[in-house]
Amino acid sequence: MSRRDELAEGATDYALEHGLIGLSLRPLAAALDTSDRMLNYHFGSKDALIAAVLAVSNERSLVTIRALPVSASIRQGVLDLWDAFTEPQVARCQRMYVEAASLGLFGREPYAASVRQSNESWLAALATHLERSGASKARAPRLATLVDATFNGLMLDRPLDGDTAGRRVVVDLADALS
């Protein structure tokens, strides 16, 4: 692993703990036992560092989704995806995704571009899992988009409604799609 990759991994851990909004290079560099000058050397700019952090975070989530075994049905596939989505490490990455997406909504870069890139790979991974679980190749991308939109909406509501309410909605969604 290169020094840049090590720094990207460490910066991702830091951002998952402290958030992206208000991210300052000096405290980040101190936590990584380096300097802000070295972070700029390895990444070229703070925006490039943030893009790398978002890419690492997304890849961590994708590893979990891609590692899911084939589900017995589309219904079970949706439930298995929810279980993976709410697994603590993935949930932390998804919270950071939402933070980036909210900044990207205002056209702020590198957030908008990073979120677009994340969406493509994330939806492809969901569609692949749903296809492996019985959805047709033509239907899987549409189902993935519906599942993703539902999961993201539920994630925003989780602090208010708790896990039980979200799980009930996911079961209803799984039943409707099967």
Residues in the chain: 178
* Whether pTM exceeds 0.85: yes
User: Could you tell me the pLDDT band of residue 159, with boundaries at 50, 70 and 90?
Assistant: low
> Contact, 139 vs 155, CB < 8 A?
no
**pLDDT tens readout for residues 88-108:** 999 999 999 999 999 998 988
Residue 22, sorted as left (phi over 0), alpha (psi -120 to 50) or beta, turns out to be left
Give the pLDDT score at 160.
66
> Contact, 177 vs 143, CB < 8 A?
yes
Domains annotated for the chain, with CATH where assigned, are 3-177 (1.10.357.10)
DSSP 3-state assignment of 116?
Answer: helix
Q: Is the dihedral of CA 46, 85, 156, 112 positive or negative?
A: positive
Give the pLDDT score at 178.
86
